[in-house]
A and B are shown apart, each in its own frame.
Chain A
Amino acid sequence: MQYCDMSYLLLFLPLVMLFYSLVTKEKRWIVLLVSSYLFFYLLSGKLLVYLVLSTFSIHHFGLWLHDVEQVGKKAMEEAAKEEKKRIRESMNKRKRNVLILGIFVQIGMLSLVKYLPFFCFNINQLFEFIGVNFRIKQYHFLAPIGISFYTLMALSYLIDVYRGKCIADKNLGRLALYLAFFPQIMEGPIARYHETALKLYEGEKLHYQTVCFGMQRILFGLLKKMVIADRLNIIVENIFSNYATYNGGILFLGIIFYTIELYMDFSGVMDVVIGSAEIFNIALPENFRQPFFSKSISDFWSRWHITLGTWFKEYIFYPISLSKGSKKMTSALRKKMGNHFGPLCAGSIALLCVWLLNGLWHGAGYHYIFFGIYHFTFILLGNVLEPLFLKFYQITKLNRESKSIHIVRILKTTVIVFFGELFFKAPTLRIGFIMFKRIFATFTFKSFTDGFILKLGLDGRDFIILGVTLFLLFLISILHEKNISLREEISKKPIYIRWLCYYVLLFYIIIFGAYGAGYIPVDPMYANF
Chain B
Amino acid sequence: MKQLLTILESIKPGVDYENCITLIDEHHLDSLSILSLVAEIEDEFDVVIPTVEIIPANFNSAESIMNLITRLQEEE
Contact = CB atoms under 8 A, between A and B. Distances in A.
User: Are A and B part of the same complex?
Assistant: yes
Contacts of A298: 30
Contacts of A347: 31-32, 35
* Interface majority SS (helix, strand, loop, mixed), chain B: helix
A317 B34 CA distance: 12
A328 to B, nearest CB: 9
B46 interface: no
Contact of B51 (A319, A339, A383): A319
Interface in A331-353: 331, 334, 339-340, 342-344, 346-347
Given A313-B31, A347-B31, A327 B52 contact: no
Contacts of A321: 31, 35
Nearest to B10: A339
A418 to B, nearest CB: 24
Contacts of B40: 331, 334
Contacts of A165: 52
Contacts of B30: 298
Contacts of B12: 339
A322 B31 contact: no
A314 B52 CA distance: 8
B64 interface: no
Interface string A195-234: 0000000000000000000000000000000000000000
B15 interface: no
Interface string B32-47: 1101101110110000
A163 B52 contact: yes
Interface string A312-332: 011001110110001100110
Contact of B36 (A317, A319, A334): A334
B35 A322 contact: yes
A344 B35 CA distance: 9
A322 B52 contact: no
A397 B10 CA distance: 24
A385 to B, nearest CB: 13
A391 to B, nearest CB: 15
A343 B35 contact: yes
A45 interface: no
Nearest to B30: A298
Interface in A164-213: 164-165
19 contacts: A163-B50, A163-B51, A165-B52, A314-B51, A318-B51, A319-B51, A321-B35, A322-B35, A322-B38, A322-B54, A326-B35, A327-B39, A327-B42, A331-B40, A334-B36, A334-B40, A339-B10, A339-B11, A343-B32
Interface in B3-21: 10-12
A164 B32 contact: no
Contact of A330 (B39, B50, B51, B54): B39
A220 B38 CA distance: 42
B29 to A, nearest CB: 12
Contacts of B35: 321-322, 326, 330, 343, 346-347
Interface in A384-409: none
A319 B31 CA distance: 12
Nearest to B12: A339
B32 A340 contact: yes
Contacts of B33: 339, 343
Contacts of B49: 322
B39 A334 contact: yes
Contacts of B38: 322, 327
Contacts of B31: 313, 317, 321, 347
Given A313-B31, A317-B31, A331-B43, A343 B52 contact: no
A298 B32 CA distance: 12
Given A313-B31, A339-B10, A330 B52 contact: no
B36 A342 contact: yes
Nearest to A386: B32
A469 B40 CA distance: 51
Contacts of B11: 339
Nearest to B13: A339
Given A164-B52, A327-B38, 8 more contacts: A165-B52, A298-B30, A318-B51, A321-B31, A322-B51, A331-B39, A342-B36, A343-B32
Nearest to A342: B36
Contacts of A344: 32
Nearest to A332: B39
Contacts of A317: 31
A284 to B, nearest CB: 19
A387 to B, nearest CB: 12
A318 B43 CA distance: 18
A298 B31 CA distance: 11
Nearest to B54: A318
Nearest to A340: B32
A345 to B, nearest CB: 10
Contacts of A331: 39-40, 43
A321 B34 CA distance: 10
B46 to A, nearest CB: 13
B47 to A, nearest CB: 12
A344 B39 CA distance: 13
Nearest to B55: A314
Q: Which of A318, A319, A346 has the largest count of B CB atoms less than 10 A from its CB?
A: A318
A313 B54 CA distance: 10
